[in-house]
Amino acid sequence: MAPAKSKAGNSKKRTASNRAAREPEVRFPKNSNIEVPSDEEVDSDLEEDVEEGDFDEMLKMMAEEQGIDSGEEGGEVEDDYIAGDSLDEEDQEEEDGDEDVSDSDIEGDSEDASDDEDDDLLLAPSASRSTDDLATAVDSNSEGEGEGEGEDKQLTIRDFGDDLEAWKEYRKTLPTIEAGYASDSSTEEPSNTIGNVPIEWYEDYPHIGYDIDGKRILRPATSDELDKFLENQDNPDVFRTGRDEVNQQNVKLTDEEIDIIRRIQGGSIPDADFNQYEDTVEWFTSKTMQTPVTGAPVSKRGFVRSKSCRLIRQGKITPGKPKQEKPRFYDVWENADEESADAQSSRRPLRLAAPRLALPSHEESYHPPPEYLPTDKEREAWLEQDPDSRKRNFLPQDFQNLRSVPGYQKFLHERFQRCLDLYMAPRMIKKTSQLNAEELMPKLPDPRDLRPFPAAEALVYTGHTGRVRSISIDPTGLWLLSGSDDGTVRLWEIVTGRCAQIWDLKDVIHTVAWCPNPEVGSRVVVIVPTELCSDQKLLVTEEFEEEDAASLPVSWDMPPSSEQSQGIYISVVFHKAVKSLAWHKRGDYWATVTAEEGGASVLIHQMTKHKSQRPFRKLKGAVQTVKFHPNTALRYVRIYNLMQQALVKTLQPGVKWISSVDVHPQGDNVIVGSYDKKLAWFDMDLSVKPYRSIRYHKQAIRQVSYSRKYPLFATASDDGSLQVYHGMVYQDLNMNPLIVPLKILRGHEIRNSLGVLDCLFHPIQPWLLSAGADGTIRLWT
One character per residue 329-358, x = contact with other proteins (rule: CB under 8 A): ------------------------------
Interface pick for other proteins out of 477, 487, 567, 747 (rule CB under 8 A): 477
Q: Which residues contact 155 (CB under 8 A, 6 or more apart)?
A: 30, 138, 139, 140, 141, 145
Work out how close the CB of 459 gets to other proteins at its nearest, in angstroms, rounded to a whole number.
7
- Output 311 or 495, the one with its CB closest to other proteins: 495
What gap in Å lies between CA 220 and CA 71, rounded to an integer? 12
What gap in Å lies between CA 768 and CA 777, rounded to an integer? 10
- Output 305 or 498, the one with its CB closest to other proteins: 498
Work out how close the CB of 688 gets to other proteins at its nearest, in angstroms, rounded to a whole number.
38
- Output 501 or 613, the one with its CB closest to other proteins: 501
Check: CB of residue 523 under 8 Å from CB of residue 540. Answer: yes
One character per residue 545-564, x = contact with other proteins (rule: CB under 8 A): --------------------
- Output 489 or 494, the one with its CB closest to other proteins: 494
- CB atoms under 10 Å from CB of 550, counted, come to 9
Work out how close the CB of 612 gets to other proteins at its nearest, in angstroms, rounded to a whole number.
31
Work out how close the CB of 500 gets to other proteins at its nearest, in angstroms, rounded to a whole number.
7
One character per residue 72-111, x = contact with other proteins (rule: CB under 8 A): ----------------------------------------
One character per residue 603-632, x = contact with other proteins (rule: CB under 8 A): ------------------------------
Which own/partner contact pairs does 692-696 have at CB distance under 8 Å and 24+ positions apart? Answer: 692/737, 692/739, 693/653, 693/654, 694/725, 694/739, 694/741, 696/723, 696/741
- Output 458 or 738, the one with its CB closest to other proteins: 458
- Output 503 or 682, the one with its CB closest to other proteins: 503
- Output 84 or 711, the one with its CB closest to other proteins: 711
- Output 66 or 522, the one with its CB closest to other proteins: 522
Following CA atoms 585, 588, 591, 592 in sequence, which dihedral angle do they give, to the nearest 10 degrees?
A: 120
Which span sits near other proteins by CB under 8 A: 134-142, 207-215, 440-448, 474-482?
474-482
Work out how close the CB of 523 gets to other proteins at its nearest, in angstroms, rounded to a whole number.
17
One character per residue 182-221, x = contact with other proteins (rule: CB under 8 A): ----------------------------------------
Which span sits near other proteins by CB under 8 A: 2-10, 475-483, 528-536, 637-645?
475-483
Work out how close the CB of 764 gets to other proteins at its nearest, in angstroms, rounded to a whole number.
6
CA angle 619, 620, 623 (to 5 degrees): 70
> Position 451: which residue type?
R
Work out how close the CB of 492 gets to other proteins at its nearest, in angstroms, rounded to a whole number.
12
What gap in Å lies between CA 121 and CA 115, rounded to an integer? 10
- Residues in contact with other proteins, total (CB under 8 A)? 14
What gap in Å lies between CA 480 and CA 457, rounded to an integer? 16
Work out how close the CB of 766 gets to other proteins at its nearest, in angstroms, rounded to a whole number.
9
Question: Is omega for the bond preceding 529 within 30 degrees of 0, making it cis?
Answer: no
What gap in Å lies between CA 423 and CA 436, rounded to an integer? 36
Per CB under 8 A, contacts with other proteins among 485-544 are 495-498, 500
Work out how close the CB of 704 gets to other proteins at its nearest, in angstroms, rounded to a whole number.
25
The terminus-to-terminus CA distance of the chain in angstroms comes to 126
Check: CB of residue 780 under 8 Å from CB of residue 767. Answer: yes
- Output 583 or 780, the one with its CB closest to other proteins: 780
Q: Where are the beta strands (DSSP E) in 245-394?
A: 249-252
- Output 161 or 452, the one with its CB closest to other proteins: 452
586: exposed, middle or buried (C-beta count within 10 Å: 0-12, 13-18, 19+)? middle
- Output 533 or 764, the one with its CB closest to other proteins: 764
Work out how close the CB of 490 gets to other proteins at its nearest, in angstroms, rounded to a whole number.
14
Work out how close the CB of 446 gets to other proteins at its nearest, in angstroms, rounded to a whole number.
18
What gap in Å lies between CA 74 and CA 439, rounded to an integer? 100
Work out how close the CB of 770 gets to other proteins at its nearest, in angstroms, rounded to a whole number.
17
Is residue 476 a contact residue for other proteins (CB under 8 A)? yes
Work out how close the CB of 723 gets to other proteins at its nearest, in angstroms, rounded to a whole number.
21
Interface pick for other proteins out of 241, 522, 693, 781 (rule CB under 8 A): 781
Per CB under 8 A, contacts with other proteins among 414-453 are 452
- Output 59 or 494, the one with its CB closest to other proteins: 494
Which span sits near other proteins by CB under 8 A: 7-15, 323-331, 360-368, 476-484?
476-484
- Output 517 or 699, the one with its CB closest to other proteins: 517
What gap in Å lies between CA 468 and CA 644, rounded to an integer? 29
Work out how close the CB of 498 gets to other proteins at its nearest, in angstroms, rounded to a whole number.
6
Distances in whole angstroms, Cα of residue 512 to Cα of each of 89, 103, 192, 638? 143, 159, 130, 20
Q: What residues does 473 pair with on adjacent strands?
A: 480
- Output 312 or 459, the one with its CB closest to other proteins: 459
One character per residue 452-471, x = contact with other proteins (rule: CB under 8 A): x-----xx------------
Interface pick for other proteins out of 63, 478, 595, 728 (rule CB under 8 A): 478
Work out how close the CB of 665 gets to other proteins at its nearest, in angstroms, rounded to a whole number.
17
What gap in Å lies between CA 391 and CA 393, rounded to an integer? 7
407: exposed, middle or buried (C-beta count within 10 Å: 0-12, 13-18, 19+)? exposed
Which span sits near other proteins by CB under 8 A: 133-141, 169-177, 472-480, 536-544?
472-480
Buried b (16+ CB within 10 A) or exposed e, 309-330: eeeeeeeeeeeeeeeeeeeeee
- CB atoms under 10 Å from CB of 145, counted, come to 17
Query: In terms of Cα–Cα distance, which of 646, 641, 653 is closest to 687?
Result: 653
Work out how close the CB of 478 gets to other proteins at its nearest, in angstroms, rounded to a whole number.
6
- Output 125 or 763, the one with its CB closest to other proteins: 763
Distances in whole angstroms, Cα of residue 335 to Cα of each of 323, 342, 690, 730? 21, 11, 62, 73
> In which element (H, E) is residue 342 found?
helix 336-347
One character per residue 272-311, x = contact with other proteins (rule: CB under 8 A): ----------------------------------------
- Output 494 or 716, the one with its CB closest to other proteins: 494
Work out how close the CB of 456 gets to other proteins at its nearest, in angstroms, rounded to a whole number.
8
What gap in Å lies between CA 218 and CA 32, rounded to an integer? 14
Crossing angle (nearest 10°) for helices 73-96 and 103-122: 130
Which DSSP category does 482 fall into?
E
- Output 338 or 543, the one with its CB closest to other proteins: 543
Check: CB of residue 712 under 8 Å from CB of residue 726. Answer: yes
- Output 475 or 529, the one with its CB closest to other proteins: 475
What gap in Å lies between CA 127 and CA 117, rounded to an integer? 7
Query: In terms of Cα–Cα distance, which of 515, 662, 663, 658 is closest to 590?
Result: 515
Work out how close the CB of 567 gets to other proteins at its nearest, in angstroms, rounded to a whole number.
13
One character per residue 749-768, x = contact with other proteins (rule: CB under 8 A): ---------------xx---
Q: Does residue 315 sit in helix, strand or coil?
A: coil
- CB atoms under 10 Å from CB of 261, counted, come to 13
Check: CB of residue 244 under 8 Å from CB of residue 250. Answer: yes
> In which element (H, E) is residue 308 found?
helix 307-314
What gap in Å lies between CA 622 and CA 640, rounded to an integer? 6
Interaction site with other proteins (CB under 8 A)? 452, 458-459, 476-478, 495-498, 500, 764-765, 781
